[in-house]
Amino acid sequence: MSDGGTIDVHQHLWPPAFVDALRARTNRPLLRGWTLYTDGEPPYEVDPQAHDVAARLSAEAGSDRVLVSLSSPLGIETLPPDQAQPLLDVWHDSALALPAPFQSWAAVAASEPDLGDLKGRFEAGTVGLQVGAGELATPAALERLAPAMRICEEFSRPVLVHPSRVDPLGAVPGWWAPVVQYTAQLQAAWWSWQVAGRSLLPDLRICFVAGAGLAPAQHERFSARAGDSFVVDPDVYVDTSSYGRQGLDSLTRALGIDVVVLGSDRPYADRPDLSSLGAAAARAISRTNPIRLLEGSSR
């Protein structure tokens, strides 16, 4: 690893074999050409260039590590295990074969996670586990998924909390799910973790994408309603995806700089301009903090 390249912990890139697997399906989620059909959202026209490996490699010149994940809004993790596992196998095998600087997050079936398979993925080099925020919607839900996350503790691998499949709402704009439902899921997952996460998983490193839906900005309200103060956990991170100066300002005011990491959500968004934060803060977010998330040693 060089001494200056960025580390982006949150992108999406579908290898050709995974695209083929989605096209072969007869039930949602599926692709027809480059039109994506899922259960919860309107049909989405995928840009083929967004999943062209050569094009994405060119866009990542100067990056040391780029971590790609199975996008949980597809709903694959929440399929019945006999449908989910074949798609997960294709994802894991094809994503792990992507060229550097790409690395990949694992995923598991939400209802019956294959813990042995997850261990094997970590042994093969997968960086950590992505889980859907919808599967952490309450402290009880978090407890049900804790066995999979304990494997991450065992292997000293982090967890990435990403928005998951949404329920259809009828006639709403195409941006509704990302702006309204995704952020609501992330906020619920954040507060579930605050209630039960650390007692269940004392050594886990965990990162909530998209600034946890700006849940950290609600800590004053939490203190007023719960009568308790909030203490920043050095092993609980948020990424920058989809937020700019205003969002980053609220996150760093609530959490400080040390637990904010670069996550762009490419191809759906791009990296934020960190220059207004100053050179030291920009380096912390784009390199120093991601290293601690991925490798540990934050305590």
pLDDT tens digit string along 179-227? 999 999 999 999 999 999 999 999 999 999 999 999 999 999 999 999 9
**Residues paired with 266 in a beta bridge:** 11
The domains located in the chain, with CATH, are 6-295 (3.20.20.140)
Residue 96: partners with Cβ closer than 8 Å, 6 or more residues away: 104, 121, 124, 125, 126
- Rg of the chain over CA atoms, in angstroms? 18
pLDDT of 268 over the 70 cut: yes
DSSP 3: S
Report how far residue 19's alpha carbon sits from residue 147's, in angstroms, rounded to the nearest whole number: 30
pLDDT of 2 over the 60 cut: no
Three-state secondary-structure class, residue 11: strand
Question: What is the pLDDT, as a whole number, of residue 169?
Answer: 87
Give the model's confidence band at 1: pLDDT under 50 very low, under 70 low, under 90 confident, else very high.
very low
* Cα 144-194-125 angle, rounded to 5 deg: 60
Question: What is the pLDDT, as a whole number, of residue 294?
Answer: 98
Give the predicted TM-score (pTM) of the model: 0.97
Tell me the per-residue pLDDT of 9-39, one tens digit each, with 9 for 90 and over. 999 999 999 999 999 999 999 999 999 999 9
Question: What is the pLDDT, as a whole number, of residue 170?
Answer: 86
Tell me the per-residue pLDDT of 61-84, one tens digit each, with 9 for 90 and over. 989 999 999 999 999 999 999 999
Q: Whole-number mean pLDDT of the chain? A: 95
DSSP 266: B
Q: Average pLDDT, stretch 44-54?
A: 97
**Residues paired with 67 in a beta bridge:** 103
Cβ atoms of 237 and 211 closer than 8 Å: no
Question: What is the pLDDT, as a whole number, of residue 182?
Answer: 98
Tell me the per-residue pLDDT of 114-164, one tens digit each, with 9 for 90 and over. 999 999 999 999 999 999 999 999 999 999 999 999 999 999 999 999 999
According to DSSP, the β-strands at 30-32 and 44-45 are unpaired
pLDDT of 298 over the 70 cut: no
Question: What is the pLDDT, as a whole number, of residue 222?
Answer: 94
